[in-house]
Structure 1
Amino acid sequence: MEIKRSLKAIMLFGVSVLVLTGCSQTKSNGSDSSTSSHKVSQKADSSKKTEKKESASSNQESSNQESQTALWNDHQDDLLTQFINQWAPKMNQEYTKYDGEASLKVSTGTVYPDDLSKVMVNGNKTTIGMSKDGNGENEYNVVAIYNYDGTKPPLPNHITYIFAFRGDQPVALVDQSRDGVPDLRPTQNTEVQKSFAQIANQSDFAKSEDEEQTNNKQAKDGSDNIKPITDRSEAIAIASKAFSSVEGHTAENNIEPSTGPEPDGSYILKTYSGAKGLDIYTIKPLADNKAAVNARYGSVQGGEFNDAGTKIVERP
């Protein structure tokens, strides 16, 4: 009996050990499964966060690009062309525009826009390149190029205007170099400079056009009081009142043959000053027996003319 009892006790103890061992393994396996599931969930969350960050970054970049306002458009480009076509004949010049396709060749051998990367500005190397809307990574983003090749000796000679934006500021550059690397500099022609700035800032240019139309209408309405200037001696007398530089340059042999009255009633007086100087006075009749005289000084060899301003004087 004692032996049987001992055997039963041993058997019961063994069964208990087996049961406890199984439970322990089940709990251990359950814990591993839970941990593994938790890690997978963390990875999934991390992946989603990364995707959200990348998406946000992409959206921010797209938003920044869209928010960059265009500084130049086709309408402004047309207005600049209109200005050049009206202004150039007054300078006895005819300009060719870079049309965005065929390269613009200058008489000195420079080719635009191909050679833009070689030019200097104010004697310094810089970054400069074409831009459709005036924006870009260059220091100077070029929106238009116009060139005039001179026909009078010494040849070759030219005037090349390069209209650009430096940051968001419009700048009209000009080059007249005859050899070596083109060196662009801000134009000294106030009419070109002012007109480009007005076109770049569309509201100002629109205001200027409105004012011009108003002035023309007023002149037309009071046309009975405005007498055209057709006589050379009167033109000389009026110009002399406004600019003393006229004196001494108005002998008959010092007056350029193309000088004379214009269809609008104004008079363009062109005089030679010195061996190579050419002064151009545009005299426009006004109401109340007055006249506006604009003076531009340049050279018979071509080149950029400097605008000396406009003065209003009494007619003789």
Structure 2
Amino acid sequence: MDQTYTQYTGETNLTTANGTVYPTEFKTATVDGQPAELIWDPKGTQKAGYAVVALYNYNKNTGGSITYAFTIKDGTPIVLVNETNTTSNNWTQTKNNDLKENFANIYNGRPTTTVGSANEKTATNDAHSDGRNGYITTPVAMRGTWYAKSYGKMSKLEVSEHEIVYTSEGEKPAKTILYRPGNGRKFDTDIAVQEARQEWGAASEVTKNDLNYINVRGWYQTAGTGTFYAAHTELIDGKQIPVVVVGSGAGAWTDTVYYQTEALAEQQAEVKYDDLIYQ
């Protein structure tokens, strides 16, 4: 969900953006509006109330916080959440099925399951020692399958929430996972490591030429500006039509415009638009 959480380790109090301090304020907690006994108990041996065995908090950039308490009550694993923009200390059971199912798997000694496709099993949305610091999320307007015709070849972009797959006619697809690089990103010289991470992209959000782009460079790229992707619209046959603009170079100069159908890509193959900047 493009959120980075802080874990309570039992050593330093966990303070939310609203000023709520845990575990101190467990004493005044309610669950579904009713008084409840929440107790920090990482071994889960507490018999009464909710034994809190793990606690994580995310402070939103816009204010407020989301706090998850992984608890055991009467021998049942329960994930509680407190999402608030105030100092409310009321908890409810999470509706996030992935959290509920995987916490139950941990409690019962079963393997956890990975969300997403098999190719995403090494993906993370947390700050990680290998330098990944969560995902860049594509705008909804950019998602879908797009086509472009240039130099006599049809190419295709498949854009999902955190990935872009590029396929040129007659070639194999090339997938890029859009990671936000963190301070721990290293330019590893081990060839095997580089091959294992060849689908990782170092992505960022930039604004150029009045367009909001996602800029993507190779994870080990040390020179060059990478590729720029932006959701946009153009007036075609009297209608505003969604497109994806792809650019490169220092000015994010437009290289290719992608359309929602192959027919439109064929029709507009030689068109250049006045509101886009070409090299």
Higher percent of residues as helix = 1
Q: Shared topology, TM-score over 0.5?
A: no
Higher percent of residues as strand = 2
TM-score (norm 2): 0.43
TM-score (norm 1): 0.38
- Which structure has the greater CA radius of gyration? 1
